[in-house]
A and B are shown apart, each in its own frame.
Chain A
Amino acid sequence: MYGCVKLHEKDTVATAILPITSGEEVHYRFGGQELTVKACTDVPVYHKLALVDLKKGDVVTKYGQKIGYALQDIPKGAHVHTHNLYSTMPKEASTQEE
């Protein structure tokens, strides 16, 4: 059973397609390869989890493109959302405030 989807070769996050529990080995498939990532937090369905260790300030990539920056160090397998990912888009304050 696959637990997440990686969309692009360059992506540093994947999207959960099932609710993920901390400690779980999450299986996914990319470029014909069977891969796993060990979840270190719970991740709700359709939320993101880190596929690599991210340092504070690192660009976070989905669809092969920047979706924002890491607000803090994010370990591989952790939930990535408004608490640790922010946008620097002009006029868009909503995500950064939270």
Chain B
Amino acid sequence: MKLKGYRRPDGRIGIRNHVLVLPCSLCASETARFTASLVDGAVYIPNQGGCAMVKKDLEITLEVLSGLAANPNVYGTVIIGNNCEGVQASLLAEKIREKTNKPLETVVIREAGGTIKAVELASRYAAQMSREAGMLEKEAFDISELILGTECGGSDPTSGLAANPVLGKVSDKLVELGATVILSETSELVGTEEVLAPRCKDEATKEKLLRIIRENEAHFERAGESLRFGNPSPGNKEGGLTTLEEKSLGCIHKAGESTIMDVYGYGEMIHSKGLVVMDTPGQDIASIAAMVAGGAQLVIFTTGRGTPTGNGIVPVIKITGNAETAQLMADNIDFDASSAITEGRDMEELAEGLFELAVQTVNGQKTKAESLGFNDMSLARECNFC
């Protein structure tokens, strides 16, 4: 199947054409915001990290920030550094260059002579990129070049009954067509070992998967919590969930039933085709950020209670199986799958509808969150990686 997108010099294909103004740290974030506000087509990332971090967190932050710049929906990037932060502008530029050869400029606030001079310089770079980006023409690409991130949040009993099974069918179809689908949120995978391990393509992949689950549990244990005991919770049981397998299946179902080809670290660039797992926290925004950094051009998000979530770089399609949510949050929900429950409508039919919406979104139709200009961003840290 042919879709239309923007071919990047590194060979990847984007479905949006943003100029990214990327602050190295929280100290550079406001300067980045001023800069992006001056330039049409520019987005900035509110960065709340980038400094005062342990080594592991510095690595995670560099991985994600460089991944955001490398995301194919980005035409080019203007890095903004303060001067003294842990994520040094030169270090970030180097990391971005390891991932992509797209347009890249760097402005350091101290070197430029303060915020106003830095904004002048950075906005000129960004405006130049915006003009160049406007010259690009879309070209046809095969759907196998698409990377879909899947996410769920604000789940309720309808999530497992409609939204996740419908998205699961779309995920399976994409994998069949040669594309890549990401299953995220490691904390949701605790308890799925028996289900997911046999679905891994080989022993090495299985070991990687079991390792990220063990490490995630260890994070919780260090904080004095357990994901496994007492799960499903009394509230889950009252809601009709009996076993941990059942609860987990309701969630992982959204990524379909394909073979797991590989397991990636938080924000690591994805090179595989087929279904892959990424080690992300259960917090939706930080999970989406990592999949975007991994190269996902599109995210589909299932929700029961409803969520406004959007991302500045990648369209996030939101789907619910809860008829009330679809109505109450019509400004935020893109696809209503509740007829699977209320009318016994065929999941296949609904999946076709969602697939069609995904194709339209790839080809340029804005999601609800995009039309509202949403730009949610959160980066996970090792010390609160749960």
Q: What residues make up the interface of A, taking CB atoms closer than 8 Å to B?
A: 2, 5, 7, 15-17, 28-29, 31-32, 44-48, 62-68, 80-82, 85-87, 89, 91-95
Instruction: Please state if A5 and B340 are interface contacts (CB–CB under 8 Å).
Output: yes
**Could you say which of B53-61, B227-235, B289-297 contacts chain A?**
B227-235
Instruction: Please state if A46 and B157 are interface contacts (CB–CB under 8 Å).
Output: yes
- What's the least CB distance linking B180 to chain A, in Å? 23
Instruction: Please state if A5 and B344 are interface contacts (CB–CB under 8 Å).
Output: yes
Most buried by B among A29, A81, A94: A94
Main secondary structure of the interface of B (DSSP, over half): helix
Instruction: Please state if B243 and A63 are interface contacts (CB–CB under 8 Å).
Output: no
Q: Given A91-B229, A92-B228, A95-B242, are A63 and B346 neighbors across the interface (CB < 8 Å)?
A: no
Q: Given A32-B346, A44-B240, A65-B245, are A93 and B161 neighbors across the interface (CB < 8 Å)?
A: no
- What's the least CB distance linking A61 to chain B, in Å? 10
* Chain B residues with CB under 8 A of A85: 242-243
Q: Nearest chain-A residue to B343 (Cβ)?
A: A2
Instruction: Give the docked Cα–Cα distance between A31 and B245 (Å).
Output: 25
Q: Given A67-B249, A91-B228, A92-B231, are A15 and B161 neighbors across the interface (CB < 8 Å)?
A: yes
* Chain A residues with CB under 8 A of B246: 62, 67-68
Instruction: Please state if A63 and B230 are interface contacts (CB–CB under 8 Å).
Output: no
Instruction: Please state if A67 and B243 are interface contacts (CB–CB under 8 Å).
Output: yes
Q: Given A5-B161, A28-B344, are A48 and B253 neighbors across the interface (CB < 8 Å)?
A: no
Tell yes or no: B244 within 8 A of A by CB.
yes
* Chain A residues with CB under 8 A of B232: 94-95
Q: Nearest chain-A residue to B168 (Cβ)?
A: A63
Instruction: Give the docked Cα–Cα distance between A11 and B355 (Å).
Output: 25
Q: Given A92-B228, A94-B229, are A87 and B243 neighbors across the interface (CB < 8 Å)?
A: yes
The number of chain B residues with a CB under 8 A from chain A is 33
* Chain A residues with CB under 8 A of B257: 64
Q: Nearest chain-A residue to B233 (Cβ)?
A: A94
Q: Given A46-B239, A63-B250, A89-B194, are A68 and B340 neighbors across the interface (CB < 8 Å)?
A: no
Instruction: Give the docked Cα–Cα distance between A79 and B69 (Å).
Output: 52
Tell yes or no: B131 within 8 A of A by CB.
no
Tell yes or no: B195 within 8 A of A by CB.
yes
Instruction: Please state if A17 and B244 are interface contacts (CB–CB under 8 Å).
Output: no
Instruction: Please state if B240 and A15 are interface contacts (CB–CB under 8 Å).
Output: yes
- What's the least CB distance linking B361 to chain A, in Å? 26
A/B interface sample: 12 pairs, CB < 8 A:
A2-B342, A5-B341, A7-B347, A16-B240, A29-B345, A31-B346, A63-B249, A63-B253, A64-B257, A66-B245, A81-B242, A85-B242
Sorted nearest first, the 8 A-B pairs with minimum C-beta distance are A29-B344, A87-B243, A47-B240, A46-B240, A67-B246, A46-B157, A2-B344, A68-B243
- What's the least CB distance linking B275 to chain A, in Å? 15
Instruction: Give the docked Cα–Cα distance between A31 and B229 (Å).
Output: 37
Tell yes or no: B191 within 8 A of A by CB.
yes
* Chain B residues with CB under 8 A of A80: 242
Q: Nearest chain-A residue to B252 (Cβ)?
A: A63
Q: Nearest chain-A residue to B191 (Cβ)?
A: A89
Tell yes or no: B165 within 8 A of A by CB.
yes
Instruction: Please state if B244 and A92 are interface contacts (CB–CB under 8 Å).
Output: yes
Instruction: Please state if B228 and A67 are interface contacts (CB–CB under 8 Å).
Output: no
- What's the least CB distance linking A93 to chain B, in Å? 7
Instruction: Please state if A63 and B165 are interface contacts (CB–CB under 8 Å).
Output: yes
